[in-house]
Amino acid sequence: MPIIGIVAGEASGDLLGSHLIRALKKRRPDLEFVGIAGPKMMAEGAKTLFPMERLSVRGFVEVIRHLPGLLKLRKQLAQHFLQNPPDLFIGIDAPDFNFALERKLKQHGIRTIHYVSPSIWAWRKGRIRKIKAAVSHMLALFPFEPAIYQAADIPVSYVGHPLADILPLESSMREAREDLKLQNANQVIAMLPGSRQSEVRQLARLYVRTARLMLNKQPSLKFLIPLVTKETREIFQQAIYDDNAQDLPLQILFGHAHLAMQAADAIIVASGTATLEAALIKRPMVITYRMPRLSWMLLKRMNYLPYVGLPNILANRFVVPELLQHDANPEKLAETTLHLIEDKNLMAEIREEFTRMHLTLRQNTEEKAADAILAYL
């Protein structure tokens, strides 16, 4: 029975991994998947050796703090795979963790496929040499990425983004509001502060205070906050309590991020995969992010794109506003979001751009990725 080693590092990787496993098992039901998996991948039959949460660390300072544990975990994984060699190894995102693991496995004759190119087009271009030493084949989600790998003589396949296949070209705001019992709502704002506890800690009070300022100008607004774990919900609820904001119309949802976005007139969202989801749902957004000061200073020195949000990167221009670090304050965020929902022409232009983006990324990703992987078995 062929065994595939697989490691995913966070919620978005777990989603990608679950779709990939399902597509592969459709073609090869005999495949087994072992490594680090989240709940969605485990639901598709993957066996996890360690909890995925141990890899969900973001920011340079945070990584340094967790480095001894991460190095120990990677060593244990390498030992497992070298003692029990898989027929193939797939690293899903988590590049700093996975590339070192992939390099070691490749050196021992295990073929390695990396799913999701790191952002070498945005920062740390020098990583291409390390990638070449680590990866037998790269699966790229975005159309501008293959040329980078072809120039470095690294086998690559453009597979598109699975979310573009999953999400419909048109989504109904009315149906989403009916599902959430918001039929009588005038305008709805979805707030997505991220999936990691560290992200929610950075953004929760900012979002609560922004909601208060927006309500001062538009009292009929309602706010939806979808959060994926008990811990992140508790962090946001504490921020509401600390800001004495229990009277505000803030509805915390357990999951249902896509439904909240579909129901919204506009979205306030932490930079990350959720920005792409918002674009594919065709809702205007304001992208925000905050991180510890030292992490931010290091990131700014290495970054060479003027934007961080995936919709802006894909369009190669500012389609939607970004308010980052010091600019991510309640006054600017409230003003920018209110301007967005009041400018109907701008909202129509944004929807048009997001529809073009959706069509470009819709590539039947699961099947294309499965084709590339099965060629190595």
Query: For each of the chain's 377 residues, which pLDDT tens digit applies?
Result: 899 999 998 777 898 899 999 999 999 999 999 999 999 999 999 999 988 876 765 544 455 555 677 788 889 999 999 999 999 999 998 888 899 999 999 999 999 999 999 888 666 677 899 999 999 999 999 999 999 999 999 999 999 998 999 999 999 999 999 999 998 889 999 999 988 888 899 899 999 999 999 999 999 999 999 998 899 999 999 999 999 999 999 999 998 999 999 999 999 999 888 999 999 999 999 999 877 677 666 666 656 557 888 999 999 899 999 998 888 899 999 999 999 999 999 999 999 999 999 999 999 999 999 999 999 98
pLDDT at 126: 74
- What is the reported pLDDT for 349? 96
**Tokens found for residue 250:** 């803030």
pLDDT of residue 304: 52
CA distance 327 to 46: 42
Instruction: Report strand pairing: 188-192 vs 266-270.
Output: parallel
The CA-based angle 231-67-34, given to 5 degrees, is 70
DSSP string, 67-98: HHHHHHHHHHHHHHHHHS--SEEEEES-HHHH
Domains, in order of start, for the chain = 3-160+362-374 (3.40.50.2000), 173-361 (3.40.50.2000)
